[in-house]
Structure 1
Amino acid sequence: MKFLDEAQSTAVTRRKIEGTNDDGDLANLLLQAYEGDAVSKTEEIMRFIGCNLTASKLREDYPKKDLRRVFERLHFIVNVKKDLTGQAMKSVVQEYADKSHSAYDALVVCVLSHGMERTVLGVDGEEVLIKKLYRPFTACRTLTSKPKLFFIQACQGVAYQKGQIVEDGPKEQLDELFEEDVPNPLLHKPSVAVEADVLIGMSTVEEFKSFRHTTFGSIYIQALCRALESGCPKKENLLTILTRVNKEVSIHDYNTHKQMPQLQSTLTTKLVLTVD
């Protein structure tokens, strides 16, 4: 991971430090910390530490595999804590937010869960406010001025998005089998804190459903993983990559409906995640 400075371009090398990985089932909430030491202007040796949490159960296994593959390629260690209750989710988040992150460079949280208004659900059905998952980290002094990235796959409402013909635009494609991400969602867009260096990528905009393929899982997570695998080796800016995710998801049909992801960012510098 490297912050790009318009006046500076330095090479980055990395070595991976072994960690404890949990090869369990689907991680619905993925929490990863990115730790590093700056060795010189031309070399960084990166160390990594992380933990993953599970919110509510989803039956497909592909998102877990995709997230693990992509983030391990980006030199993150992926640890999983499965099937957490709502209270357990909050407890583990607070536990990590209370730790010193002085040596850490960034934080990434991926949430795949069912949800209600402004919440995700634990396996016990308890609603956890989305802000309870990210605000403990924005309040962490040792993560100040460091990117805190949150990707949330969950419906944000009960309405379906309709398509609109774009003149001279790409031909819409009809994918095979899709279903609503949650049977009866009432999820609303989470409140976004004004703290700097926070990025929240939502799978869909306010009031609307999001979809997953019945075999391959979350449409948004599929697109996110593909875009990261394509753009990171080219050292593309993360915002450029995520804009491409928005476009890829939005141009397809899902059971004749549309899905439009939403990106909210208070990042204060360009962010590039590299694989080298």
Structure 2
Amino acid sequence: MDDRQRKILQRNRAMLVEKLDPSKIYDLLISKDVFTQDMIEEIKAAGPRRDQARQLVTDLQTRGSQAFSIFLECLKETEQRNLADLLREGLHFQPAGPINIKPIKIPQIINKHPDQEFSEGLLKFDDVSPCLGRLSSEFNDPRRNQSPTHVEARIQVPVQCSDIETLDSGGTRSRRNSGKLPKAPTLEYKMDSSPCGYCLIINNVEFADGTRLNCRNGSDIDSTRLQKRFESFDFIVETCRNVTQKEMDEKLISMARKDHSQFDCFVLVILSHGNESQHIQFPGAIYTTDGALTPVQQIVNYFNGSQCQTLRGKPKLFFLQACGGGKQHSVQTPTNRDESPLLKFHDTEGGPKPVWKPEGVREAEELKPAITDFQSSNLFLVLCSSAGYVSWRDRKVGSWYVEVLDKVFEKYGHDEDLLSLLVLVTDQVSQNSARGVFKQIPGCFNFLRKRLFFRVK
């Protein structure tokens, strides 16, 4: 969709919200490949007819070069021709450019009294107009030419207008105010239900023999911290400890099938070892206690619009405390690989070897996660480390990331939105280092459409 078509929709947004019946054109928009079924379900979840119309107009602007013309066709086919005609008129309207106002010459008389002076200056139009009559009367005064000291001079005085009338893109006359800029609309998710929603925490600490995955000492501290924190945000928190792949799948499916219609949000936290994985949308995979790898993409897909209809249009937050791979962020090249005292208290989330090359971090496995029509809207995926890199956990106080996350949420969660909170977390985590050599840089995938503020109990 080009800029001209986009501006036509924006200019007529209020009219479309008032008169458009989106339910009549949903099927046509799907059949003409403008939207998928999941996208339409997201629009329906926006609320009543007016809210659906508003969301449809917003989403339509992102649906390609043919979206506008197809939208007009759908309006005509569903007896909403009057709306189509109004929008089509905007295509043929050529807005006039701004009026070019040039400085004008205003005659001014040198005063007969030498102790008074005139000087050049900028006059506003309102300042000039009342003096025109006085100038006219002085020019017509017969005594004007009788005095040798009365000399005429013409001084160019440009007129400067504070506001300039122009024709806007809609063809209506408007004032261009030089001192005011438009403000972006404030969009926030509804987060006032009590409870706010479910929070599921999966905490894998001990792994089966033969998996070559170390015990994740300190992870129970992380689990307890996050349980208390999300309870303070009025979530119903459920925890699971040491689950196999089958048990985790069953738990995720069960949670997705719950009725979330009375809640505003959903949170999933997974604390485990992790690794790289082939992916289409989201990187990484999570180890379960039996050594099996489950792709992050598959985990997220349990809660898409098809699998969990009562979460459509609501924010879904995923926090993953696990390695994203075997690489390590370093600030210098280590010259001595002998184990330092700090090595005894820091583990990676990848495996049992010393931190120079964690044994639990295997080569990327040939995984083929199920491909679905996943609609990533209203989703926020938080990774404790960059894709492909290890994360760090202190055996006595828990992981770096969860420790900082909990402190930031406690201190600023009542006032800042989620994205602002995570920027603070990333900054603080990035300042930590293991043995002065290795760093950790968290990241996220943000598909939220509005700002999210937690509600503190």
What TM-score, normalized by structure 1, do the two folds share?
A: 0.74
Q: Relative to 1, partners in 2 of residues 1:163 and 1:259: Cα closer, same or farther, differing over 3 Å?
A: same
Give, in whole Å, the separation in 2 of the partners of 1:146 and 1:175: 42
Retained in 2: the 8 A contact 1:55–1:122? Answer: no
Retained in 1: the 8 A contact 2:217–2:396? Answer: no
Residue 51 of structure 1: how far off its partner (Å):
5.9
Residue 178 of structure 1: how far off its partner (Å):
2.2
1:275 aligned residue:
456
1:252 aligned residue:
432
Amino acid in the other structure paired with 2:285: T
- Of the two structures, which has the highest relative contact order with CA contacts closer than 8 Å and spacing of 6 or more? 1
Amino acid in the other structure paired with 1:112: L
Query: 1:220 is matched with which residue: 401, 421, 428?
Result: 401
Give, in whole Å, the separation in 1 of the partners of 2:451 and 2:252: 26
Percentage of identical aligned residues: 26
Q: Is 1:265 aligned to 2:446, yes or no? A: yes
Amino acid in the other structure paired with 2:379: V
Amino acid in the other structure paired with 2:261: S
Retained in 2: the 8 A contact 1:55–1:120? Answer: no
Give, in whole Å, the separation in 2 of the partners of 1:53 and 1:214: 19
Amino acid in the other structure paired with 2:265: A
**How many aligned positions are there?**
229
Where does the alignment leave 5 or more consecutive residues of structure 2 unmatched?
1-183, 206-215, 277-283, 333-341, 352-359
Give, in whole Å, the separation in 2 of the partners of 1:272 and 1:127: 33
Retained in 2: the 8 A contact 1:196–1:266? Answer: yes
SS of aligned partner of 2:408: helix
Q: Is 1:157 aligned to 2:325, yes or no? A: yes
Give, in whole Å, the separation in 2 of the partners of 1:218 and 1:246: 14
SS of aligned partner of 1:151: strand
Retained in 2: the 8 A contact 1:53–1:89? Answer: no
Q: Is 1:86 aligned to 2:245, yes or no? A: yes
2:262 aligned residue:
103
Amino acid in the other structure paired with 1:59: N
Give, in whole Å, the separation in 2 of the partners of 1:90 and 1:250: 33
SS of aligned partner of 1:271: coil
1:66 aligned residue:
225
Where does the alignment leave 5 or more consecutive residues of structure 1 unmatched?
13-35, 37-43, 165-173
Residue 81 of structure 1: how far off its partner (Å):
2.4
Retained in 2: the 8 A contact 1:138–1:195? Answer: yes
What TM-score, normalized by structure 2, do the two folds share?
A: 0.46
More helix by share: 2
1:185 aligned residue:
361
Per-residue displacement from partner, 1:27-53 (whole Å, max 9, x unpaired)?
xxxxxxxxx8xxxxxxx5512553635
Which 10-residue stretch deviates more, 256-265 or 126-135? Answer: 126-135
Amino acid in the other structure paired with 1:119: A
User: Which residues in structure 2 correspond to 1:137-152 (within 5 Å)?
Assistant: 137-139=303-305, 140-152=308-320
Residue 59 of structure 1: how far off its partner (Å):
2.6
SS of aligned partner of 1:248: helix
